[in-house]
Structure 1
């Protein structure tokens, strides 16, 4: 029993190491290892490194791309910063003094749009400690905030770490407070969900305020609605209205209707009226689909820009999207290198066999659908066993075909 347990533990350890290796390869594969990324400007996301060897006292923070880390700073003490968004390679600019980039020497003196933090000096988390930390005997796990992209120890998140099998994204408390409207979304969509509501004495006035007045496209507000429309128009002594007054009333009603429709379309305002709240303390964990819940109305988009988080609406911004791109490139490189090592006859044979398998698989799936059967792992396993058997029968039959 002890041996079996030991074997399971060993296998689990190998699996973990392989997964970490795959993630590391995916991060590196998404960036070019030989061409400096400077010519591509501020890239949406790339692997970034900081050179401790080139850093001098009082030097401004700098980062370099994968290619420069490989070629210009080979053998240096390098901090691996994982990935950064909207970053342009600094290698060889004025912050490096007389050091020149070997791959792209003609660069601006400074990349003014780059955003830096203490990671570029090899320090992380709210505790401002290095990683790996010689004083940390445990080697505690760290997690990255998707907004500021700093890395935090689990014990410094200000909340209990969420143990979940599904992929989660984390926003630190500081970033939540820089974009405070995220707290409203967190009450409904973050993990774990909040089930308590605000005190009715608090929520009712807010709801009344939001339903009695609507934002207009010109930035103003429509007058509170009455039983006779947005603004009550005076009437003639006999109770009739002039044509001008009728037009004014119609225009105001259309205006009021448009304003109400715009307010109704705002997901954030609708959530606020429901009264669900979350304590504004600690980091927040989100299920991976949470970004799709964010409102995209004009006012909310403006709020994202003001808070500097407009990238939350970009599906390709996520680290997962970047890693998937890297994994795809890895598969393409592997297939290309394997395929190119074969001669022309072998390449054609593989193509024919692949097309045959694709046709048979499609026919197999159609049969299951026609019979109303589910696609189970057992059915797929049986399909490939039969496919192998057919291949063996064709191979055996071919041995007796003499020309």
Structure 2
């Protein structure tokens, strides 16, 4: 193997730039002192106890350990300096008690999604999507967005940087699969079915405009999406349950404002009118419920309770996951009843801040610049000794390479290795003679 000097320098420069982009922050401080914050969390697979460590400790304390990135987790405190881990923290040297307030879901056992499969970045073909509220990760196939790939072999995009795969949405990892029913750029956040069932106001919005759901009419039938937002002021055809079943109800096929499939079509005149004088709280402005969506939740709750479903119920199927479109926080009803439902989930009302380590001012510097900074931090005599040693090595290397230039020979990697091995052997011999 042989390379030109310019190729080696270009390669070195690109490596320095890639390192600066991948690690642009300082990792010199454990976040334990910051308390319970939303931050990137890593699971150390080498340490026997399933606990989470911060980004700084993942680099400074567990460098040689096998790790799994869990991505941001809210209200999480780094476990590295606590008694839960036998591995000593190199950044926070004061031993701390275990973090009893941390929540350790199935991700801390290496399991993800409602299917509970382990995640292998080298073999996983599917894009995974994080739930906004529980922060677990779900496969697209488990969300009924696409069929599950038949093979779990390495993806064709294995050589693509991770950030490019993530930013390119689910289509970039489709691996010759058809596009998903809901593209990543068509929604802003996912709330998994289990979380939807536990948040009454989100369950009420499910399937209404801006709260997309994937459903199908019968088991084994094609999946479709309900809750797509109609263009403002346009006459849009409405496909009702009766229309899908071929029943003639005499109801018109077009309306000025189209509800989504299954949405209650009760006229506005039948809504209860709340006078501002009669109540200090504003009237509830949540949209009429989507009947298809509610049937899904009723069936799932019946299964959880062990109750048999009525034979007269619709055969609509689906998990109940909700995909919220952009601006969903501005569309929530602000009445006291709806706001009460958000108390346990403030992330639904306001976007959370995620902690990031401070930027590293040296991350974009070249090796030469970093070397000069290191020399400036040394005492004067030691800095001068370092400069003299560098100059001596440079002169010896030039002398070693001069015959190649004179004879027109190509310098190979083995030639460079031979030079440094000779220097190391001479250094060892010198140490032996002086002793």
Interval of TM-score (by shorter of Structure 1 and Structure 2): 0.5 to 0.7
Q: Which of 312, 319, 327 in structure 1 is aligned with 2:348?
A: 312
* Counterparts of 2:60 and 2:142, CA distance in 1: 36
Q: Deviations 1:14-59 (Å, cap 9, x if unpaired)? A: xxxxxxx99x94xx65x7522101111112x21110111112xxx4
Q: Which of 252, 261, 264 in structure 2 is aligned with 1:196?
A: 261
Q: Contact conserved, 2:204 with 2:289, CA < 8 A, in 1?
A: no
Tell me how large the CA RMSD over aligned residues is: 3.7
What is the deviation of 1:99? 2.8
TM-score, normalising length from structure 2?
Answer: 0.49
* Counterparts of 1:125 and 1:276, CA distance in 2: 26
* Counterparts of 1:107 and 1:297, CA distance in 2: 47
* Counterparts of 1:32 and 1:173, CA distance in 2: 38
Structure 1: which 5+ residue stretches go unaligned?
1-20, 215-255, 342-403
Q: Contact conserved, 2:193 with 2:322, CA < 8 A, in 1?
A: yes
Taking structure 1 as reference, are residues 309 and 151 closer, same or farther at Cα in structure 2, changes over 3 Å only?
same
What is the deviation of 1:278? 4.9
Stretch of structure 1 that moved more, 72-81 or 121-130: 121-130
Taking structure 1 as reference, are residues 174 and 159 closer, same or farther at Cα in structure 2, changes over 3 Å only?
farther
Q: What pairs up with 1:4-403 in 2 under 5 angstroms?
A: 25=22, 32-43=26-37, 45-55=38-48, 59=49, 61-96=50-85, 98-106=86-94, 108-132=96-120, 139-159=125-145, 161=180, 162-166=182-186, 168-186=188-206, 187-191=208-212, 192-193=227-228, 195-198=260-263, 211=272, 257-260=276-279, 262-264=281-283, 269-272=284-287, 274-279=288-293, 280=296, 281-282=318-319, 283-305=321-343, 308-317=344-353, 322=354, 333=361
Taking structure 1 as reference, are residues 300 and 337 closer, same or farther at Cα in structure 2, changes over 3 Å only?
farther
The equivalent of 1:376 in structure 2 is: none
Q: Deviations 1:335-356 (Å, cap 9, x if unpaired)? A: 9869xx7xxxxxxxxxxxxxxx
Q: Which runs of 4+ in 1 moved over 6 A?
A: none
Q: Contact conserved, 2:200 with 2:341, CA < 8 A, in 1?
A: no
Structure 2: which 5+ residue stretches go unaligned?
1-17, 147-179, 213-226, 229-258, 297-317, 370-435
* Counterparts of 1:79 and 1:164, CA distance in 2: 24
* Counterparts of 2:35 and 2:87, CA distance in 1: 20
Match of 1:260, SS state, is: coil
* Counterparts of 1:316 and 1:199, CA distance in 2: 34
